[in-house]
Structure 1
Amino acid sequence: MLNRVILIGRLTRQPELRITPGGTSVTTITLAVDRRPNQSGQKETDFIDVVLFGRLAEVTCQYMDKGRLVAVEGRLQSRTWETKDGQKRKSWEVIADSIQFLDSRPRGQDESEVFEEDREEQEEDDSVFTE
C-alpha cells in the first residue's frame, strides 16, 4: 500500500518546539493549502496539521516563521481519542518525512543558514525535494 502526501502551503502560526518525555523533539505546524478554484472561481483553503520529529522539528522551529511558504512530504495518519465526556473523536495529520523552504526569509534575516541546513538535509535524506 502507498501512503504519501505532498503539500505546499504557508505556515499559519509560529512553530513551537516541544520535547517528549523520551527526549524527542517535536513540533506541530498548520499549513494553509489552497484548493483549485471552484466552478464560481472562488478559492477555498484547507488547514492541515503536520507533525515533525527530531532534527526536522528543530530546524523548522529555528528557521520557519508564520507565513513562510514550504513544501512538506510525509504520510497521512489518523489519531483517535476520547473526550472528557466520553465521546470518541478522530483527526487526521501528516507525519513529515521532509520539509523544504520555498521562499526567502523576511528582510533583515540571514538567509544563508537556511540553505546550508537545507542542503545538509538533502545529503542525509534522499526523500528531501531537490531543486
Structure 2
Amino acid sequence: MEITGRLVADAAVRNIEGDRTVTNFTIAVNRRYVSGGEKREDTTFIDCAYWRSDAVAPYLTKGLLVQLFGHISARPWVSRDGEPMASLNFHTNEITLLGASRKAGAAKPKAKRNGNKQAA
C-alpha cells in the first residue's frame, strides 16, 4: 500500500530490546473535496514505524512531504477516561522524500539510498 502525507513533527528513534531501533513519526494525509457546493478538507493522522534503519531519522523533519510503502493496521485502546479509541499505524517498508520541509531553516540534504528511497 502507498500513502503520501506531511510529517507533523520530527521523527524520533527509540531503542528496542537493546540492539534494535525503530524510527517513529506521524504524518497527516489530507483529502480535499466538494460537498453541497462547499469546499471541504479532512485530515487523517497516521502513526508510522520504520524498522529498517535509523539513518533516515535526521531527514524526517516536520513539514516534509513523504511517500510511504508498507501496510496499515488499526490499534484499539482505551483512554484514561475509559473511552474506546483507535489509531492507524503504518508499518513502513520504504520511504521516498518528496519535498522540502516547511520548517524554517530546514536545508538538510535529501537521503540517498536506492535512488532517494530508504529500503532494505
TM-score, normalised relative to structure 2: 0.75
Point out the structure with the larger helix share: 1
Matches of 2:59 and 2:74 in 1, distance apart?
28
Q: Measured at CA, do residues 92 and 116 of structure 1 come closer, stay the same or move farther in structure 2, by a change above 3 Å? A: closer
Alignment check: 8 A CA contact 2:10 2:60 kept = yes
More strand by share: 2
1: CA distance, partners of 2:60 / 2:66: 9
* Residue type at the aligned position of 1:21: E
Distance in 2 of aligned mates of 1:110 and 1:78: 33
| CA distance 1:68–1:87, change in 2 (3 Å) | closer
Match of 1:30 among 26, 31, 45: 26
- Match status 1:103 vs 2:96: no
Q: 1:13 and 1:32 mapped to 2: Cα distance?
A: 10
State yes or no: 1:53 paired with 2:63: no
Deviations along 1:65-119, one digit per CA (max 9) or x if unpaired, are 10001001110123345667887654331100111000146767352xx242352
The whole-number CA distance in structure 2 between the counterparts of 1:26 and 1:54 is 8
Does the 8 Å contact 1:78/1:91 carry over to 2?
yes
Structure 1 length-normalised TM: 0.69
User: CA RMSD for the aligned pairs?
Assistant: 2.9
Aligned residues: 116
Unmatched 5+ stretches in structure 1: 126-131
From 63, 73, 83, the counterpart of 2:59: 63
